[in-house]
Amino acid sequence: MKPRLCTAIVVGLVVVLLARSRASVSAQPVASIALPDPGGVEQLYAGCNNISLTFPDGTPSQTVVQAVTPAGTVETLWRFNGPLNKFEGFSPAYPQASDLMSVNFLDAVWLCMTTGAPPGAVAPPTPTPPAQVIPPAPLPSGVTADITPTDLYLDNQPHGDLWVRITNNGPDALTDKNVRIAVSALVSTLTVPPQVATQTPLPTDHILNLLAPGQTQAIHLAIGVDTSCCRYEFTATATAQDFTDPNSANNTYKETVTPTPPPPPPPPGSVTLCEDFNYGGVCEKFTGPGGDEYLADNLIGNDRVSSIRVDPGTSAYLCEDFHWERVCETFTADDPNLSDNPIGNDGASSMAFPLTSPPAPGSVKLCENFNYGGICETFTVPVGDFNLTDNLIGNDRASSITVGAGTSATLCEHFNYGGVCETFTADDPNLSDNPIGNDRVSSLKFP
């Protein structure tokens, strides 16, 4: 899997902007490094490992080496200096010959591991690894073309790769000619405040094939981008390698890649019930407050709900029977498949929006769950109810009660205010330890 920018705030912010290897890794790790927060433990393999550091600015290179276990497995530490176009290195065995004595937060470095040699038995680093330097090709005579980068774009959002379009302005056609693309990026996280890093991956060479004057070729740069976390300001420069470009003034192109804005959220306070999985088939929207105790005469119908969409900040209940009876389930987010839910597929016969506002003076609210959760119903002085069976709260379902200021209400165990009765003048989030008990209220009156 290719690395991505900002997979956890800024961890990996640097790594994915470097040209990435497409080779699969089959070797076993030989060591690991423990990075400070927000980093983690990175596995290290034989050879050179490209990682992003999360040590504070100015951390000694020796501290980075000491974070690797087992000890003595680091041969060299390398960092590319873009402005100087050179590599800087640190060798724990030869610090006096090193020119990379400290590192900074979000530095992209290479940790090169020993191949089994004991500490102190490795060779000192050279100032610049010659294998990393791409020498310019000689300019042959006879082929002249003015090239310019004309676009930078992603092949997908929010996770995608960076591409560049190169246009040939003539006069000659380009057949199997080499162009070097150098990209730099100013990357800003979407956090507040943002964290910013400037990165310059190694230039890469690409072939322009059968590119006639006036034509454009798209080139895949294999630089991973994640617009769900970051904003990018890219600069791309194209340089001819084996042909003559008579106009270098138009060889650089800049473009900002910003996150794709999410679609506007639906208005709060509604849910949509659909007859098929994944919100397919007939769908019907319900808007709170209240609900519908009898779905049989609705567009969606009885026992036909297979998926549900819930607006942000909204919750709703689906119940197995009419009048909000038997199994009821709360939904606060979309669910494309109800078959693995308690309510089940094609199992809903009624729905309701919970009443979450506190009762006004002169009223009380009965709720079906502890802590005032689930379906709630408000009753106002002086009207009580001798039989809660046909109410929203239902018979034998009350588990908590909220009482408006200056109000008292009596809950009774049986219809017509019979059986055990208890008077409440204040809220009670749990009726199970009361004389009336949990799920035992059948009638309510105001004294």
Does residue 80 fall inside a structural domain?
Answer: yes
What is the structure's pLDDT at 115?
56
Answer yes or no: do 276 and 250 share one domain.
no
Give 205's pLDDT tier (boundaries 50, 70, 90). very high
CB atoms within 10 A of CB 275: 18
Closest CA to 391 of 331, 335, 350, 434: 350
For the chain, what is the domain count?
4
Instruction: Give the pLDDT band (50/70/90) at residue 62.
Output: very high
- pLDDT tens for 379-423 read 888 888 999 988 888 899 998 888 888 899 999 999 999 999 999
Is 263 inside a domain boundary? no
pLDDT at 5: 34
One-character DSSP codes across 309-328: EE-TT--EEEEEEGGGEEEE
Give the pLDDT score at 197: 86
Each residue of 222-238: pLDDT tens digit?
888 888 888 899 999 99
The pTM of this model reads 0.34
149-153 contacts, C-beta under 8 A, 24 or more apart:
149/181, 149/236, 149/237, 149/238, 149/251, 149/252, 149/253, 150/216, 150/253, 151/253, 151/255, 152/234, 152/236, 152/253, 152/255, 152/257, 153/255, 153/257
**Domain end marker among 68, 99, 132:** 132
Question: Would you say residue 45 lies in a domain?
Answer: yes
- pLDDT of 135 above 70: no
User: Do 343 and 370 fall into the same domain?
Assistant: no
- Which tops the pLDDT comparison, 405 or 9? 405
Residue 324 is predicted with a pLDDT of: 66
State how far the Cα of 109 lies from the Cα of 52, in Å rounded to an integer: 6
Mean pLDDT value of segment 422-434: 86
- DSSP per-residue letters across 348-403: --EEE----SPPPTTEEEEESSGGG-SSEEEEETT--BS-GGGSSS-TT---EEEE
Please indicate, yes or no, if residue 156 is contained in any of the structural domains: yes
The pLDDT confidence band at residue 144, using thresholds 50, 70 and 90, is: very high
| CB of 265 closer than 8 Å to CB of 278 | no
User: In terms of Cα–Cα distance, which of 402, 308, 399 is closest to 351?
Assistant: 308
**Do 378 and 424 lie in a common domain?**
yes
Residues 191 and 275 grouped into a single domain: no
Q: Are 281 and 373 in a shared domain?
A: no
Q: Name which of 80-94, 191-205, 322-336, 390-404 the model is least confident about.
A: 322-336
What mean pLDDT comes out for the span 89-117?
A: 82
4 within domain boundaries = no
Q: Average pLDDT, stretch 132-138?
A: 48
Distance (Å) of CA 132 to CA 16, 86, 165, 203: 18, 9, 26, 10
Q: Whole-angstrom Cα distance, residue 206 to residue 166?
A: 11
For the residues 237-249, what does the mean pLDDT come to? 93
Average pLDDT over residues 362-380: 82
Please give the angle made by the CA atoms of 80, 64 and 107, to the nearest 5 degrees.
35
Question: Given this model, what pLDDT does residue 16 score?
Answer: 34
**8 domain-assigned:** no
Whole-number pLDDT of residue 173:
92
CATH number of the domain at 405, please. Answer: 2.60.20.10
* Residue showing tokens 């709630």: 376
Q: Are residues 126 and 151 in the same domain?
A: no
pLDDT, position 14:
34
Average pLDDT in the chain = 81
Is there a domain that residue 200 lies in? Answer: yes
Domain that holds residue 304: 270-352
Residue 189, pLDDT score = 85
Q: Does one domain contain both 118 and 183? A: no
Euclidean distance between CA atoms 132 and 351, whole angstroms? 66
Question: Sorting pLDDT into bands at 50, 70 and 90, what band is 445?
Answer: very high
Task: Check pLDDT > 70 for residue 122.
Answer: no
Mean pLDDT in residue range 80-96: 84
What phi and psi values does residue 386 have, to the nearest 5 degrees? -80, -10
Q: What is the mean pLDDT of residues 273-296?
A: 87
The C-alpha atoms of residue 40 and residue 309 are separated, in whole angstroms, by 37
The least confident of 7-11, 200-204, 368-372 is 7-11
Please indicate, yes or no, if residue 275 is contained in any of the structural domains: yes
248, 159: one domain = yes
Q: From 69, 104, 132, give the residue that closes a domain.
A: 132
Judgement on whether residues 286 and 238 belong to the same structural domain of the protein: no
Determine the pLDDT at residue 339: 92
What residues contact residue 424 under an 8 Å CB cut-off, 6+ apart?
364, 401, 403, 408, 409, 410, 411
Which of 290, 321, 352 marks a domain boundary? 352
What is the Cα–Cα distance from 354 to 334, expressed in whole angstroms? 17
Q: Are residues 125 and 188 in the same domain?
A: no
Indicate if 253 and 298 belong to the same structural domain: no
